[in-house]
Each structure stands twice: as C-alpha cells, then as structure tokens.
Amino acid sequence: MNKAVAKYLRFYAEPECTELEDFPPLSAQHCLVIPCYKETPNFARRLAAGPLGACCALVIVIINQPHGTAEVSNQQLLDYFFQHPLVWQKKHLSLFSANSGQLHWLVVDRFREGLTIDPKQGVGLARKLGCDLAAFLMARNFSGNRWICTTDADAILPEDYFAALESCAEQASAAVFSTRHIAAAETDSAIFAATRMYECALRYYVDGLAWAGSPYAFPTIGSALAVTLQAYCESRGFPRRAGGEDFYLLNKLAKLGPVVWLQNTVVQIEARISARVPFGTGPAVQKILALDNAEDFVYYALEVFSDLRIWLQHIPTVWQRLQKQEHPLQTLPQHIQDVLGDSGINALWGHIRRQIDNSQQCERAIHHWFDAFQTLKFIRRLQDQYYPAQPLHICLHNAPFYRDPL
C-alpha cells in the first residue's frame, strides 16, 4: 500500500472501513459502487442477469436515506439481497453471493433508524462510503484492478463496461463514459422528451468547453464515472454533498491526471422524474415539464463559449507579459477582463511571480486556478452581465461545435 492510499484510509475514509478487517478473501476483479435511495430490486436483477453478472465483481450497494424521511422501498431492496446466500456480516454490512459465486453484493444498510444520513451530505456521502470500502479492500490486494467504478440504479451498463477501462492510459486519474437516456416501458413520453432536451443541453455545454479549448471538457455524471484507487485517495474521495459530488470530485481529479472520456462506450440511463438531489437532471426535467412550451427552455448563449475561447487562447501569452511587467490581461476585451477580475484572478499573478519559473508552469498554474468550477462561474457571470440565456433549440442550431448525443 503506497503512502497516499494509506494516509487516506487512515485519516479520511468512512468509519465502516474498520469493519472490513476480517472480510473474507474473494477473487473479484472489479469493484462497482451503487448508491440506492427509494429504489426497487429491479436494477439488481437486471445486473445479475446480464453479461456483467457473470464477471468476477464486487458490487457495493449503499441503501441510504436522509434523516427524517419516511421509509419507502428500502426494506424491499434489502430483503431482496437477503434471499441470496449470506457469506459474511458485520454490523450493518452484509456480503452475499450470486451467480454461483462470480458476483457478490456488499450491502451497506444506512437507512434504518440510527443509520440514516445527514440530508446535506446525501448522495455524496453514499458514494464516498461505497468507494471508501472499495478502496480499503483494493489496497489489501483484494483486486488486481486499479479502477473504482460508480453508477446509479437507473443506469444500464454496456457489456464492455469494465473492458473499456483497460484502454485508458496509465497516468489517467479517472474515466467517464458517455451516457444516453432511454425510455423505459413505463416512461411518460413528456418526461422522456424533457430528459432528452436536458441531455442535449449537457452535451452542448461539454462540446462548448471542448471547442473553447478547456482542459475540463468532459461530462460530470456520477452514474458514468470510474476513478483510479491512487487518484481517489489523493483527492480525498467524494465530497459529502447532497448533489454535485461528481462535478467536484472530477474537478480535483483533472488536476492529478487526465480524465479520459470513453465516448464510444455508452451507459444508458432510464428517463424518470427524480427529486433525490437538489439540482441536476431530475430538477431540470421538472423545470422543463413546468413550461407551457418546452421550446421556451433557455440555456447558455453561444457567445459565452466564444468569450471563453478568447480567454483560453490568451493564457499562453501571460508568462511573457508578466516578464515584461505588463498587465497579463491588457489585450483582452474589457468585459472579459472585468469578469475575470470579479473572479479574483488578480491575486494569482503575485503567486506566479513568486513561485513559477517558466511558461509551462505558468500555464499549468492558471489552468489549476481556472478550473471547472471557475469556468462555470465565468460563464454564469457572462450570462448575468452580457449574454442572457437563449432558447436551447436556437443555441443548438447556431453552435458550430454541437454534436447530437444520439
């Protein structure tokens, strides 16, 4: 076990990891984490019956529930797992075997009284708990694989899900799969159309970042994410947040190594109404459904990506400008200078003058500061002050970079 992994497991991992000291030896080659709140056993049946069910995999299921919410279907899901042979149990952790011992379920009960989670920590804590358990086991040579995978109960994983990760470069910190929403048998057509519209908006955003030259141009969807053990521990795991945990983790991971976008491997996600998180696809779909006309749904104007592109193309000139005692932003359009100034970028110049020795280090320092979060705030400031949101269908039609996800 290397130093970074050992430090994380000792000081930052969730306390459930200490219960794994006597965990039985398994031959699992893959670890997959699935947080579950208000879920039925359907996803587990589907996974076990499909191609991935024949893999030597440990699926860590965190059945969770926020404090003060009425128990809905969590007990039904727990009962499903207890229909399988029980291999090991410690407090609220239970290990079950399935499919003649190839597939195993490690089920974490965090929904019964005394075990529920803080609503402010929500899915972020659930993902962190599952990935921490995976990291603990992998660090003890439980698996020869370096990837911790995480998804959701409404996701349908492709047959080459695990195999696709083998193509990632050794220095990669994380991988994200492409996603596509599909209509389940019971999916309302209006819900599917609204979900499809928001999916297009997300793709438009990522494509806009790529066109502008951002190093943070990749999807940030927790149901289609894998992270290496090393990078996971170096970044101190998922943040304990009720939403956006995938975005914030990937923002840190991108500074440790490349985030690989596996564009040809698609995770399908069932379109459905969800209020499990305060923002994201579920609330966005509800917002679209509440409109009298779905075509009134607005999103970032094309101009915000044009301005982002101008700024990113300017970054390689900053080092020489600083060496000449010039203001590093002086040739940018004034409104871009103002927006960057509002973000606090001027404090960065002093750091670069004191700590940086060459242009390559300078560019890296700027991109570390102007990360995915600062990029989003830059775009939102441009929208608030200069370019009001436009109907999404107009944005998609006019964008030179947009590629339809379907």
Distance CA 12, CA 371 (A): 24
CATH of the domain at 157: 3.90.550.10
Looking at the structure, tell me whether residues 382 and 266 fall in a common domain. no
Whether the CB-CB separation of 392 and 299 falls below 8 Å is answered with yes
pLDDT of residue 264: 94
Number of Cα atoms under 13 Å in the Cβ half of residue 181: 24
Q: Report residue 101 CA to chain centroid gap.
A: 30
C-alpha angle 271-277-280 in degrees, rounded to nearest 5: 60
Looking at the structure, tell me whether residues 272 and 306 fall in a common domain. no
Looking at the structure, tell me whether residues 223 and 171 fall in a common domain. yes
Torsion over CA: 201, 64, 82, 84 (sign): positive
The one-digit pLDDT tens for each residue of the chain (406 residues) are 689 999 999 999 999 999 999 999 888 899 999 999 989 999 999 999 998 988 899 999 999 988 876 656 688 999 999 999 999 999 999 999 987 768 999 999 999 888 999 999 999 999 999 999 999 999 987 777 899 999 999 999 999 999 999 999 899 999 999 999 998 767 788 889 999 999 999 999 999 999 999 999 999 999 999 999 999 999 999 999 988 999 999 999 999 999 999 999 999 998 877 655 556 777 888 899 999 898 899 999 999 999 999 999 999 999 999 999 999 999 999 999 999 999 999 999 999 999 999 999 999 999 999 999 999 999 999 999 999 999 999 999 999 998 876 5
pLDDT of residue 9: 97
Distance CA 2, CA 238 (A): 20
Looking at the structure, tell me whether residues 323 and 281 fall in a common domain. no
Q: Report residue 74 CA to chain centroid gap.
A: 24
Looking at the structure, tell me whether residues 115 and 45 fall in a common domain. yes
Looking at the structure, tell me whether residues 245 and 264 fall in a common domain. yes
pLDDT of residue 156: 96
First to last CA, the chain: 43
Distance CA 131, CA 148 (A): 7
Q: Is residue 142 part of a domain?
A: yes
pLDDT of residue 36: 95
Q: Is residue 230 part of a domain?
A: yes
Tell me the C-alpha to C-alpha distance, in Å, between residue 207 and each of 37, 198, 336, 375: 32, 14, 21, 14
Distance CA 258, CA 78 (A): 37
- SS3 label, residue 172: coil
Radius of gyration of the chain from its Cα atoms, rounded to whole angstroms? 23
Q: Is residue 395 part of a domain?
A: no
Q: Is residue 405 part of a domain?
A: no
Q: Is residue 393 part of a domain?
A: no
Looking at the structure, tell me whether residues 272 and 308 fall in a common domain. no
Distance CA 66, CA 117 (A): 5
| DSSP E strand boundaries for 187-319 | 225-228, 259-270, 298-299
pLDDT of residue 279: 62
Q: Which domain holds residue 376?
A: 302-388
Looking at the structure, tell me whether residues 250 and 372 fall in a common domain. no
The contacts of residue 178 (CB under 8 Å, 6+ apart) are 219, 224, 261, 262, 263, 264, 265, 266, 267, 405
> Which of residues 299, 314, 340 is at a domain's end?
299
> Which of residues 252, 267, 299 is at a domain's end?
299
Looking at the structure, tell me whether residues 201 and 234 fall in a common domain. yes
Looking at the structure, tell me whether residues 333 and 362 fall in a common domain. yes
What residues form DSSP beta bridges with 66? 117
Distance CA 375, CA 304 (A): 10
Looking at the structure, tell me whether residues 238 and 306 fall in a common domain. no
pLDDT of residue 145: 86
The number of distinct structural domains making up the chain is 2
- SS3 label, residue 227: strand
Q: Is residue 136 part of a domain?
A: yes
pLDDT of residue 351: 93
Number of Cα atoms under 13 Å in the Cβ half of residue 191: 16
Looking at the structure, tell me whether residues 320 and 283 fall in a common domain. no
pLDDT of residue 374: 98
